[in-house]
Amino acid sequence: MKEILTKNLNLSQMEAVLCTEGPLIIFAGAGTGKTRVITHRIAYLLSLGVAPQSVLAVTFTNKAALEMKKRISDLIPGIGANAWVSTFHSFCAHFLHAEASRISLNPDFLIYDFTDQKNVVKDCIKELNIDEKRFKISTIADKISRAKDDLKFSSDMAAEAEYMGDFFGTTVAKIYELYQKKLERADAMDFGDLIMRTVSALQQHSELLERYREKYKYIMVDEYQDTNHAQYIFIKLLAGKYRNVCVVGDDDQSVYSWRGADINNILDFEKDYPNAKSVKLEQNYRSTPKILSTANQVVKHNNARISKRLWTQNPDSGSVTVLKAVNENDEALKVAKKITELIYSSAYGNKYKFSDFAVFYRTNAQSRTFEDAFRVSRIPYTVVGTLRFYDRAEIKDVIAYLKLIHNPNDNVSFKRVINIPRRGIGKTSIETLEKFAQLKNMSIWQSVPFAREAGLTKGPVKALNSFAQLIKDFSVLKDGGSVKLIAEKVITDSRYLKELEIENTLESKIKIGNIQELISAVDDFGTRSSDKSLAGYLTQIALINDTDSSDESKGKATLMTLHLAKGLEFDNVFICGLEEGLLPIGESAFNDKELEEERRLVYVGMTRARKLLYLCWSTERRVYGKTIWNMPSRFIAEAGFKDESAEMEQNREQSFQNKLSQGFNRTIQSGGSGQRQNFQSFNKKSSQAEILYTNADSYGYMPSGGEITKDERLIIPLKIESVQIGTVVSHPVFGRRQN
């Protein structure tokens, strides 16, 4: 058994797997077999006779959890499936559910997502008569979330703000306080609460803490660089007795600090656990040496990092190339052209599929030009992550009905569906009713019978009553009926589906399709899940938001943000919009912490590539309808594409001046004057950096020396099989070409 578990591991991996006792930190560089180590380590523990029930592995995403579960089961069929592998949030939800009675909590609590949170914040701001202009809803919702990530109650926030003389903070604390009250009244918890309340429960109930410490003797944490303070404390509490805690992460891939992730958790692990063993996984199995050296070169500019250097035994092939474009459309077209060339190239043995290509960018808005270019170039593509399934309005509507059926006191859901579809209950009616409800300390639902008393007019009162009856009729099914039955009844009896059918537009048809998909997902839940209740369903969908894109992305190129790229890999990667102001974005260049995170983002993007890496930038770009000029990102220079004449430095200085004088909106008229400069001094320093310029065309301008490092150039055959290198061919896009 042991041989099976260790024979496919390198020395560091084996060291990590075999170290089962005491604190262990594994620095797992990109592509170094991290998941392999975690799963093997768990399997190894089980092979030693450790009960699977005493192993807890936490991750951040359901996808990662699922993958891990599967691989453990594959390694140790049978008992492997009994190890507890889940996300932080899912674990805490289970914990709170199981221990609800002990910590005086309604076990049927709902989970609010960020949209719900914002709705509550909005209500709070209104109720407290706070200036909406100065206190932006999403900013406040974010601040509250960050406070919870830091385990701070509204009282903590208030005290802190007062101490600092921070009026803004004081007001946010007031909003936070009311916000929390509203959540409690609705028996709802946001994501932050799940962790925070679990931590509080463990801190306040020693017998609970003791029980869980005893239960989970071995704890593993994946993506440790992304843990926030609350999660850190949670792990520290649980591991407090046996101290068999193994954390895996890569400080160079920490890109979520703006969401509360604290990079110090990984940097300071050895301080927290002085006797901790540390293992570095540095052998990369994914990328070519050129890609790795480029990525290393970039990330080594960061100060706040644990020194490490990825290396590989992979053959040295392919290239890292800079693509320079004149505007964002040109950038997209150049990328599309490159992809087409590579796809139809026989020089690469026709081996690439569209799905071997990925385009990464800093902001979602950048996807559009690529979509246009790819459509024109007939490149099938999929945009990842724009709007997730459960974030679609029609899905949220149906879910809101289900939430309301589950808990009629859920004001957020009530207000969402009260007039969807239209029932003639307008804004003013709801507002009046809500005010009345607040006055009487009731939920809106509870105040419905008093609508007349509240001052509503006849029409709305009637509509309100029939709505209440509708919900009551649904509620009857709560105990006996399946969730599927309830959902089906909701969409028909509420006339939701009917209204969409009447609308009969392309959009409404898509919505109907989505709702049907939701119904089949609900059906699937009914057959698969052990807890088939409505409450169980709602908990599950609140925590599992997976857009199972595996099928959807088949045979298609992938477009996504750099953030979403983490954890994935592709043969060929284009990192686009590498310009000062876009990547690094905004003002981040003027703040070391933020700049380092931008740099890590580039590092993450680069290390996704197996074979070819393209760094793309454009001198000109339309942003918000205005044309702006950008300097090439400093990360291009850091990647080894040096500019010897210091022209780039000069330009950056100029860009800096512009930023100062124009409030970071460097607007320069398009078609403008002599500002254009040929970055001809981008000469090649490839011997040192092992980087090749592909050719003048891909670079945009001819380097001054006119010397172009040779790269595998391509022909574009129509009938791939029958064409030899050197044959003159004609292509619909590229015309006549010869190798």
- Residue 711: what are its φ and ψ, rounded to 5°? -135, 160
Q: Candidates 205, 311, 385, 488: give the one binding DNA (CB under 7 A).
A: 385
Catalytic annotation present for 139: no
Instruction: Please report whether residue 586 would count as binding DNA according to CB under 7 A.
Output: yes
Active-site residue, from 6, 15, 20, 35: 35
Written as six digits, the tokens of 689 are: 């950096």
Q: Which of residues 118-147 bind DNA (CB under 7 A)?
A: 122, 132-133, 136
HEC string of 44-69 equals HHHHCCCCHHHEEEEECCHHHHHHHH
Q: Which of residues 441-460 bind DNA (CB under 7 A)?
A: 457, 459-460
The site that binds DNA (CB under 7 A) totals a number of residues, namely 54
Two structure tokens written together for 43: 């399997």
Residue 59 annotated in ligand binding: no
Nearer to DNA, 154 or 588 (CB): 588
Residue that has been written with the tokens 């070519």 in this structure: 288
Nearer to DNA, 301 or 622 (CB): 622
**What's the min distance (Å) between Cβ of 195 and DNA?**
8
With CB under 7 A as the contact rule, the residue among 287, 407, 429, 658 that binds DNA is 429
Give bridge partners of residue 574 from the DSSP assignment.
359, 614
What is the nearest approach in angstroms of DNA to the Cβ of residue 550? 14
Q: Does 34 bind DNA (CB under 7 A)?
A: no
Q: How far is the CB of 62 from DNA (least distance, A)?
A: 4
| CB proximity list for 6: less than 8 A, separation 6 or greater | 14, 17, 18, 40, 44
Amino acid at 702: M
Q: Please answer whether residues 9 and 3 qualify as being in contact, where contact means their C-beta atoms are separated by less than 8 angstroms.
A: no
Q: Which residues pair with 24 in a beta bridge?
A: 246, 277
**CA 606 – CA 691 distance, rounded (Å):** 14
| Position 267 contacts DNA (CB under 7 A) | no
Q: Is 115 annotated as a binding residue?
A: no
Among 32, 561, 618, 658, binds DNA (CB under 7 A): 561
**Quick one: 629 or 641, whose CB is closer to DNA?**
629
373 labelled binding-site residue: no
Verify whether residue 321 is a known catalytic residue. Answer: no
Could you tell me if 120 and 112 are in contact, meaning their C-beta atoms sit under 8 angstroms apart? yes
Between 33 and 460, whose beta carbon lies closer to DNA? 460
Asked whether position 465 contacts DNA by CB under 7 A, the answer is no
DSSP of 124-160: HHHHTT--TTTS-HHHHHHHHHHHHHTT--HHHHHHH
> At 110, which helix (H) or strand (E)?
strand 110-112
With contact defined as beta carbons under 8 Å apart, do 247 and 224 qualify? yes
Q: Given the rule CB under 7 A, which of 39-47, 265-273, 618-626, 675-683 is the region that contacts DNA?
A: 618-626
Question: Which residue, 437, 235, 255, 286, is CA-closest to 362?
Answer: 255
Asked if 676 is part of the footprint of DNA (rule: CB under 7 A), the reply reads no
Give the active site residue among 123, 142, 223, 330: 223
Is 95 among the residues that bind DNA (CB under 7 A)? no
- We find the least distance from the C-beta atom of residue 474 to DNA, in angstroms, to be 22
Closest approach, Cβ 404 to DNA, in A, equals 19
Taking the C-alpha atoms of residue 243 and residue 230, their distance in angstroms, rounded to an integer, is 18
Q: Does 61 bind DNA (CB under 7 A)?
A: yes
CA distance 351 to 356: 9
Contact in structure between 38 and 85 (CB atoms under 8 Å): no
Instruction: Go through 340-360 and write b for each residue having 16 or more CB atoms within 10 A of its CB, e for each that does not.
Output: bbbbbbbebeeebebbbbbbb
Identify the active-site residue in 253, 340, 561, 619: 253
For residue 604, the SS3 value is: helix
362 neighbors 583 (Cβ within 8 angstroms): yes
Q: Where are the alpha helices (DSSP H) in 377-482?
A: 393-406, 411-417, 427-439, 444-447, 451-454, 458-475, 477-480
Please tell me whether residue 694 binds DNA under the rule CB under 7 A.
no
A 10 A CB-CB count for 287 gives 26
Instruction: Find the DSSP H helices in 150-228.
Output: 154-164, 167-185, 191-204, 206-215
- Find the DSSP H helices in 456-580: 458-475, 477-480, 483-493, 496-503, 506-528, 534-543, 562-565
Query: Which residue, 364 or 686, has its beta carbon nearer to DNA?
Result: 364
272 or 594, CB closer to DNA? 594
Was 462 annotated as part of a binding site? no
3-state secondary structure 711-727: CCCCCCCCCHHHCCCCC
Catalytic residue among 193, 222, 597, 643: 222
34 is catalytic: yes
- What mask of x and - would describe binding to DNA in positions 489 to 528, judged by CB under 7 A? ----------------------------------------
Smaller CB distance to DNA: residue 491 or 560? 560
Within residues 390-419, the interface with DNA by CB under 7 A covers 419
Residue 28 assigned ligand-binding role? yes
Region binding DNA by CB under 7 A among candidate stretches 155-163, 235-243, 286-294, 428-436: 428-436
Nearest to 485 by CA among 495, 470, 475, 498: 475
Which listed range, 32-40, 73-81, 436-444, 559-567, lies at the site for DNA (CB under 7 A)? Answer: 559-567
Name residues contacting DNA, limited to 202-231 (CB under 7 A).
Answer: 223, 226
Q: What's the rounded Cα separation, in Å, for the pair 282 and 311?
A: 6
What whole-number distance in Å separates Cα of residue 71 and Cα of residue 91?
20
32/346 with CB nearer DNA: 32
d(CA 292, CA 298): 10
CB of 287 to DNA, least distance (A): 21
* Cα maximum dimension of the chain: 87
Known active-site residue 697:
no
- Residues 186, 110: Cα–Cα separation, whole Å: 8
Of the ranges 57-65, 162-170, 330-338, 446-454, which one interacts with DNA (CB under 7 A)?
57-65
Q: Among residues 191 and 232, whose Cβ is nearest to DNA? A: 191
Is residue 377 involved in binding DNA (CB under 7 A)?
no
Q: Is 217 a catalytic residue?
A: no
Query: Binding residue per annotation — 288?
Result: no
Binding residue (CB under 7 A) for DNA from 265, 340, 572, 588: 588
Instruction: Pick the binder of DNA from 62, 465, 475, 549 (CB under 7 A).
Output: 62
Find out whether 34 is annotated in a ligand binding site.
yes
Under a CB-based contact definition with an 8 Å cutoff, are residues 617 and 362 in contact?
A: no
Residue 102 backbone phi and psi in degrees, to 5? -70, -30
Contact map string, positions 174 to 193, toward DNA, x by CB under 7 A: -----------------x--
* List 199, 543, 575, 616, residue binding DNA (CB under 7 A): 543
Task: State yes or no: 31 annotated in a binding site.
Answer: yes
Smallest distance from the beta carbon of 151 to DNA, in angstroms? 15
Q: Please, what is the minimum distance in Å from the beta carbon of residue 421 to DNA?
A: 9
Q: What is the radius of gyration, based on Cα positions, of the chain? A: 28
Residue 74 is among the residues annotated as catalytic for this protein: no
Among 44, 60, 269, 570, which residue sits at the site for DNA (rule: CB under 7 A)? 60
> In angstroms, rounded to a whole number, what is the distance separating the alpha carbons of residues 67 and 61?
10
| Interface positions, 593-612, toward DNA (CB under 7 A) | 594, 598
The residues annotated with a catalytic role in the active site are 34-35, 222-223, 253, 608
Specify binding-site residues for ATP: 28-35
Q: Which residues would be at the binding site for DNA (CB under 7 A)?
A: 60-63, 87, 89-90, 113-114, 122, 132-133, 136, 191, 223, 226, 256, 258-259, 261, 362-365, 385, 388, 419, 422, 424-430, 457, 459-460, 543-546, 560-561, 563-564, 585-586, 588, 594, 598, 622, 624-625
Specify binding-site residues: 28-35
